Amino acid sequence: MFYLTGRLEFSAAHRLYNPNLSPEDNFIAYGECAGEHGHGHNYFLEVTVRGKADPQTGVVMDINQLMKIMKDEVHSRVDHKHLNIDVEILEGVIPTAENLAVVFWNILEPEIKGCKLHRLRVYETQDIFVEYLGEGDRTVPRIPEGESR
């Protein structure tokens, strides 16, 4: 079995704020990411697929095809956007790296053909990332429109 990974960068703004919590508890939970006007991150997305090497080609999957899927399905939707406001697939989602990972998993998985989506990493900085292996029911909590902004 082989594990093939593609990585891409996107830049986006977010605000991590749950209206069901007090302002104090939001700052405890999210630190400066709870700031009133949001702020930006240079994110990285890493997508790993798992499969056998094709006997003809010797590859798990065409890496250019994987990169194209990542660009079309994720990058085109989020790059240089405000994740709380401008991204339909994130409507009502508090855009933590954890929640992004689940939403991205759900849109990427049906596009991966001939092998399996194995792992997804969302880096908020070069040094900090969330890893998701598709466990659980793959749903994210959504806050009614307007309240998550």
Residue 18 beta carbon to Ni ion: minimum distance, rounded to whole angstroms: 14
Residues 10 to 29: which contact Ni ion by CB under 5 A?
A: none
Residue 16 beta carbon to Ni ion: minimum distance, rounded to whole angstroms: 6
- The residue from 46, 98, 109, 124 that is catalytic is 124
Q: Which is nearer to Ni ion, 33 or 122 (CB)?
A: 33
Q: Is 33 near Ni ion (CB under 5 A)?
A: yes
* φ, ψ of residue 48 in degrees (nearest 5): -115, 130
Dist CA 123 CA 141 (whole Å): 21
Residues binding Ni ion: number (CB under 5 A): 1
- The residue from 33, 41, 115, 118 that is catalytic is 33
- The residue from 9, 39, 80, 91 that is catalytic is 80
Residue 1 beta carbon to Ni ion: minimum distance, rounded to whole angstroms: 36
Q: Long-range CB contacts (< 8 A, 24+ apart) of 109-112?
A: 109/134, 111/69, 111/73, 112/49, 112/61, 112/66, 112/69
Dist CA 90 CA 68 (whole Å): 21
Dist CA 42 CA 79 (whole Å): 9
Per the annotation, the verdict on 80 as an active-site residue is: yes
Per the annotation, the verdict on 124 as an active-site residue is: yes
Q: Which residues contact Ni ion (rule: CB under 5 A)?
A: 33
Active site residue ranges: 33, 80, 124
